[in-house]
Amino acid sequence: MKSLRISLLFLISALCLAKPVEASSNREVAVLTGVRRTVEVSRDQKEKWKSIKVGDFLYEGDFVKTGPRASAEISFVTGVDISVSEKTKIEIKESDIEQIGIETELDLIEGELFNRVRDLSNLEIKTPQAVAAVRGTEFGIQAGDFTRVYVVGGEVEVFNDYGSVFLGAGKQTRVESGEAPSEATEVTEDEKEAMKKFEKYSLILSMPQELVAGLGSLYELEVIDDDGTAVDVSGRVDINTSIPAEFSSDGVQWTSLPERIRIREGKGSFYLKPSVPGRMLVSCRSDDFVSAVKEQAVESPQSKELIIELRDGRDSYRLKMDFQRDD
């Protein structure tokens, strides 16, 4: 009797109609885009503090703290960028893109943050003494025995149970425990100088509308200034994803992530092929520009093709079967 040698080849053909994938309860919402000295994270304060590095993803419920002379920069999927000063501790409460708005909520337990909130994004920071709520603004906030908020651009509302105050560009307020925010006063030149760290051009990431596991798709980057105008500059960008995916510069040759691309004349592009369905964060981190982080749902393939190959030594036979999802 002849013996048959059987090999199975699985080929996935991705269709654009697929079931949406539910996000997990502990979602990635941000990327650590800059680190100086010791920066640590604790998941829900149930884990011990551990050091984190540039490119690491952060989750809702994470606590982040910086040591002496340390600092960190974090970019959120909602378009919020924060710079964490030394001896600062924060909790990431929520960061989500919803139909009714783009929201990020942080608790500033102690220390100081510098914040850049892009247009259409909303940021709310709670301290022991007050809450600062903003949209499309650049501002700083300090927390400790009292809270101080100062605004470089845009408008911030600072409030608590005792009162509220609106701050325009160049204004600041101080909030003591058990008291309403003070009347607005002028921001110092030192605070204006500190906010210059955000005077970088920004990366804008354009993504495909539909993404299916096993299918490569084109992503495009553009560099813009504060007015939204494209600029002709060069730089480097590190690409990574929160779920397994392959990278390609041309859509033909594929490699594992992370990878780096070059921005030329203010533009760059690359291809991503996610390996599994799920919620995916795409991180475009750069030392030359304000980083871009976006989220996307990766769908399951709607059909699968199974090929069974039979060999008896001289001849070979192929059996091809198509499987369709039964919704």
Average pLDDT of the residues of the chain: 85
**CATH value at residue 258:** 2.60.40.10
Task: Answer whether residue 251 shows pLDDT above 70.
Answer: yes
Same domain? For 165 and 102 the reply is: yes
Same domain? For 110 and 257 the reply is: no
Residue 23 included in any domain: no
DSSP string, 42-72: EETTTS--EE--TT-EEETTEEEEE-TT-EE
Q: Look at residue 25 in the predicted model and tell me its pLDDT.
A: 52
Same domain? For 89 and 214 the reply is: no
**CATH value at residue 103:** 2.60.120.1440
- Position 5 confidence tier, pLDDT thresholds 50, 70, 90: very low
Q: Look at residue 4 in the predicted model and tell me its pLDDT.
A: 40
- Position 118 confidence tier, pLDDT thresholds 50, 70, 90: confident
Domain housing 319: 5-17+304-324
CA distance 151 to 131: 14
Answer yes or no: are the C-beta atoms of 191 and 173 closer than 8 Å: no
Q: Look at residue 24 in the predicted model and tell me its pLDDT.
A: 36
Q: What's the domain count of the chain?
A: 3
Residue 283 included in any domain: yes
Q: Look at residue 54 in the predicted model and tell me its pLDDT.
A: 94
Residue 60 included in any domain: yes
Same domain? For 296 and 315 the reply is: no
Residue 105 included in any domain: yes
Same domain? For 183 and 207 the reply is: no
Same domain? For 251 and 181 the reply is: no
Residue 69 included in any domain: yes
Quick one: average pLDDT of 45-61? 90
Same domain? For 221 and 311 the reply is: no
C-alpha dist (Å) from residue 224 to 167, 289, 292, 298: 27, 9, 12, 28
Separation of CA 200 from chain center: 18
Residue 193 included in any domain: yes
Same domain? For 157 and 39 the reply is: yes
Same domain? For 262 and 319 the reply is: no
CA distance 76 to 29: 6
Structure tokens at 156: 């911030």
Question: Looking at this protein, which amino acid is placed at residue 9?
Answer: L
Quick one: average pLDDT of 274-283? 94
Task: Answer whether residue 91 shows pLDDT above 80.
Answer: yes
Residue 318 included in any domain: yes
- Position 23 confidence tier, pLDDT thresholds 50, 70, 90: very low
Burial of 236 (0-12, 13-18, 19+ CB in 10 A): middle
Same domain? For 129 and 184 the reply is: yes
CA distance 25 to 22: 9
CA distance 52 to 39: 6
Residue 22 included in any domain: no
Residue 9's CB is within 10 A of a number of other CB atoms, namely 11
DSSP string, 136-188: S-EEEEEESSEEEEEEEES-EEEEETTEEEEE-TTEEEEEETTSPPPPPEEPP
